Structure 1
Amino acid sequence: MIRYLIPNPVGAAITLVLQSTAAVIQVVRSLTSAPIPATPNDAGLVQVYAGAPDPGTTSLLDIDALADGAAYTYHLWEDGVLADSKSVTPGATYTDESNDALTVVRDRLRAGLLDARDRLGILANHASALEVHTVSPRKDDTKFPVVTLKLSRDSITERGLGEYAGEVGGDEIQGGLTDVAIQGRGWCQNADDRIELRKVLRQIMVANLDIFALSGLSEVSWSFSDSEDYETYGAPIYIVEMSITCKGYAGVRMVGTGVPVATTQISIQP
């Protein structure tokens, strides 16, 4: 018999759980709208499995050209006799549980720079500047000082799997820790502004350590250095180089949908 048909949360995939004591079984798939096939070799059927069943239960994975939202019926033949038919509809149900370190750092720097200017009076003579972008500044319309951030690395380093409730299905969280590196730059038009910008960037990073932790970022560290660009912008640009590293998290919640499904009524002729 077909015990369970379990739609995989990632979509376009069905797990079949069978129990049979037959010597040979054959499993085929049809659209639910199609009539019950007379033989497992009828035209239009998708062959899923043919051979001896495993002792106890047999688990099969079907990923052959399934379409989410379409209803399919699986038919089980045991020793040449149609024994069971069950229907199921595949669909994606997983949800993202990741954090994005670049977004978190960008938002905290934006808030911190505005606070430093408006409340503390740091770089207060640049009322329309102090923006934070994730692209390099353009030559013609950039207002300095400006801070840019770019992702240098985001790679998964430690994987984990957590399973929660449910005999069949239930939720799983799949993913792991990520190793993240962000390259930042603070662009200024004079060396004194560069000093002030470096100091305020450092205090913003320190002040946000708790926020980073609550946002799922750990082992946050950073370093600063200075550089200059005398050519690109038609005037000297004094740059704060900032390197940020941390641990993030990339994961998805695989929302389980595996429940027993009702047997389709079939008529088996002797």
Structure 2
Amino acid sequence: MGERVPCEFFLIRYVPDVVKGEFTNIGVVLREATGGGESLVRFTRDWSRVRCMDADADIGLLEGLEGEIASRLAVGVSAKDPKAVMEVLEDSLSNSLQMSPAGACLAENMASEMELLMRMYVEPLRVARPRTKTGRAAIAGAMRTEFERAGVWGLMRKRIGASMYTRAGDPMRIDCGYRATELVRMFQAVSLEGDVEGAKGLAYSAASLREGVGRVEGVSLELTAVVEPLREVSELEDEAMERYRFGVEAMEREAIRVVTVNDLARAAATARMELQV
């Protein structure tokens, strides 16, 4: 077993009524205690406790704060002073978001320590067996897991609005992406096990996205669709197999790179190299 790294962590709390002082933990900031080392932030994916405390809570805004805090941490703004994170919280929801005093821990590695802290302090206890994610949700979860394992998830853009590249009103959002030196890479989870509407929608938007990235970013776009492996649908009826092939071919005709979840480790390794992690 390798030497454990001294770390400190902060809990991010949602406080809908400052007078009552009731709160629920919604996230964790974890960093190496020496300063200047690795820093991570993770928010909950289960907002049920927040909704129970505050039915009018702006969940979209809370979800967006994770990326904003990660960006601050990535550039080292808060390497020595956690007040930079507090500035993000205060600018967003005033006193409705608070950060706990620092806690100490020893991490064998940052990713596993973050998982442990989330289970201990943030995620609600599960009495019943959680539902297994399927379809697009399962693919998106696999994408996040691999990019987090490579240490690049915090450096990537998430939920990228297509409208900034196509036209106002375009509702499509791309799951994640990043800017390499001469290229923008974007990744979209597309499930082909049920229907092919997601594949058709991405294929329809590909040309406009590509043109828009060239215009706005001044570089080319590599758009990647991540799908289930063919063997996962191989036992389905012939019609389902035909839909799968149709979806893949529809995307490849529009120069969309199609990979399966089995290829994500390779994509994450490339991202790690290009983002110089």
Give TM-score, length-normalised by structure 1.
0.22
TM-score (norm 2): 0.22
Higher RCO (C-alpha under 8 Å, 6+ residues apart): 1
Query: Which structure: greater helix fraction?
Result: 2
Higher strand share: 1
